[in-house]
Amino acid sequence: MVVKKSILFILFAVTVSSMTVGCNLTAEAKDRHPETRLAKDDEKLIDFSKGWSKDFMLANGYRNGDPFGCYWSKDAASVKDGKLELSLYEKDGNFYGAEYRSYKNAFHYGFYAIRMKAADCPGVISSFFTYTNRPAWDEIDIEFLGKNMRQVQFNYYTQGVGGHEKLVDLGFDASKEFHEYGFHWIEGSIAWYVDGKRVHIAAESIPSNSQQIMMNLWNCRGHDSWSGKFDPSKLPVKSEYEFIAYSPEA
């Protein structure tokens, strides 16, 4: 999640998380998404067992905005044992997190996936998402809220308008093992997947602009009902990523 979202949108999550945005989808809309979808080897945009990507960059040297106050630092990210590690730590009273993003290319309709483990710490957000602010703020999110590692939140923004949050029970602890999470974004709808199982569909005011691919780890303060009360005593923590996959829509 790029933390430019209004506080109203974030607080609205509690209300809309109990609603299924795609509950009134037509059969035609559902048929446009496969029942199952796992990333294939030839769809891997980055396999971290092969190291960094020349088409992605680490955010460094600036904050993600108030009231969060997390500094992005290239020192909070590394590739170890074939995995990307994004860390969150405290130093001299400041909090430092990591963000990895594409910068050479923008991506449009297609299937996106990540294989990852989330960080287990109240008030800490682990994420995989797409984002742009040109010509308008569009975004599609997969987020793990530190207060509950057995849930994942899906969300999206279209021209700066959000309020589409959906919490999904996973049936496992997302911080304990690697799992694949993805979304299939096409004109007029988005379907989200967990380990190849379609778990949510949205078909209302869907974003249409090409976007960057991003992932980050950061601390959230002041929104305890959403993320859980931030607990700095548990730092440092990390999220881990094995690969990023993308397959453009034909």
Query: Pick the catalytic residue: 85, 139, 180, 240?
Result: 139
Residue 143 known to be catalytic: yes
Tell me: the pLDDT tens digits for 57-84?
A: 999 999 987 778 899 999 999 999 999 9
Q: Is 165 a catalytic residue?
A: no
Catalytic residue, chosen from 143, 165, 180, 242, is: 143
**CA distances to 113, 126, 162, 178, 179 from 65, in Å:** 27, 17, 18, 30, 30
- Give 79's strand partners: 84
Cα 211 to Cα 164: distance, rounded to the nearest angstrom: 18
All structural domains of the chain: 7-248 (2.60.120.200)
Return left, alpha or beta for 205; rule: phi > 0 is left, psi -120 to 50 is alpha, else beta.
left
pLDDT digits (tens, 9 = 90+) for 170-197: 999 999 999 999 999 999 999 999 999 9
**pLDDT tens for each residue of 193-242:** 999 999 999 999 999 999 999 999 999 887 777 888 999 999 999 999 99
Q: Answer whether 163's CB lies under 8 Å from 249's CB.
A: no
Cα dist. 133→12, 173, 212 in Å? 22, 33, 10
* Per-residue pLDDT at 10 exceeds 90: no
Q: What is the pLDDT of residues 32-46, one digit of tens each?
A: 999 999 999 999 999
